[in-house]
Amino acid sequence: MKWVNFGGGHHITREGYDVEKLIQLIKDFRAKYNGINVYLEPGEAVGWQTGPLVASVLDIVHNGIDIAILDISAEAHMPDTLAMPYRAAIRGAGDMGEKPYMYRLGGPTCLAGDIMGDYSFDAQLQIGDKLIFEDMIHYTIVKNTTFNGVKLPDLAVLHKDGRYEVTSQFGYDEYKRRN
């Protein structure tokens, strides 16, 4: 073997990550296996704590629990919530029962499992409310789909001076190109 991939998910840019321990682990591994090359995928470390995904509440229905239908999709925009034990953080939201108003958050697709999870809020959600899913760029951009015709989110930059600049928008042509 000439090389080994230690994969991604190493949060080497996160405060408190033990970079020195990782370096020593790689050095020890290379020494044990005759100088084999070790690769790390930068992935999540590059986008750690960047890129919130802003969603709008499209509708609220009740089926045993209040369900807020959003204009984003777990399947299309955050597949890590379906494939891994990952719960996206939402600015100002809490776990179920932590705050007085509880909702299951769902997407607009026909997929029965298009669910982001159950959350609680300080106030009742209203149609048009914005929910900010934190730290989503690493999967929202890399592993997104246009499943069921769901639009990809716009890419934008919020400048330090407060200017909001949309840098990319995706419409039907992107859906057609991918399908």
| Chain segment 69-83, per-residue pLDDT in tens | 999 888 877 877 777
CA distance 176 to 179: 5
CATH number of the domain to which 61 belongs: 2.40.37.10
pLDDT of residue 130: 97
Q: Are residues 66 and 38 in the same domain?
A: no
CB 38 within 8 A of CB 27: no
Sign of the CA dihedral with 163 first, then 175, 136, and 128 last: positive
Q: Are residues 24 and 106 in the same domain?
A: no
Rg of the chain in Å (alpha carbons): 20
CA distance 17 to 35: 25
Q: Are residues 139 and 67 in the same domain?
A: yes
pLDDT of residue 71: 93
Residue 104 lies in a domain: yes
Tally of domains in the chain: 2
Q: Are residues 88 and 39 in the same domain?
A: no
What residues does 53 pair with on adjacent strands? 133
pLDDT of residue 131: 97
Q: Are residues 105 and 38 in the same domain?
A: no
Residue 58, SS3?
Answer: strand
- The answer, yes or no, to whether residue 119 has pLDDT greater than 80, is yes
pLDDT (tens digit per residue) in 18-64: 989 999 999 999 999 998 999 987 766 666 677 788 999 999 999 99
Q: Which of 49, 43, 54, 46 is closest to 77 using CA atoms? A: 54
Residue 153 lies in a domain: no
Q: Are residues 59 and 138 in the same domain?
A: yes
Q: Are residues 37 and 96 in the same domain?
A: no
Give the pair of three-digit tokens for residue 122.
Answer: 């300080």
CA distance 165 to 173: 22
Residue 64 lies in a domain: yes
More confident residue, 68 or 168: 68
pLDDT (tens digit per residue) in 83-92: 777 788 999 9
pLDDT of residue 118: 96
Kindly state the DSSP code that residue 123 receives in the 8-state scheme: S
CA distance 172 to 143: 18
Residue 23 lies in a domain: yes
Nearest-10 Cα torsion for 114, 148, 60, 103: 20
Q: Which of 145, 170, 144 is closest to 156 using CA atoms? A: 170
pTM above threshold 0.85: no
pLDDT of residue 144: 74
* Pairing mode of beta strands 101-106, 66-70: parallel
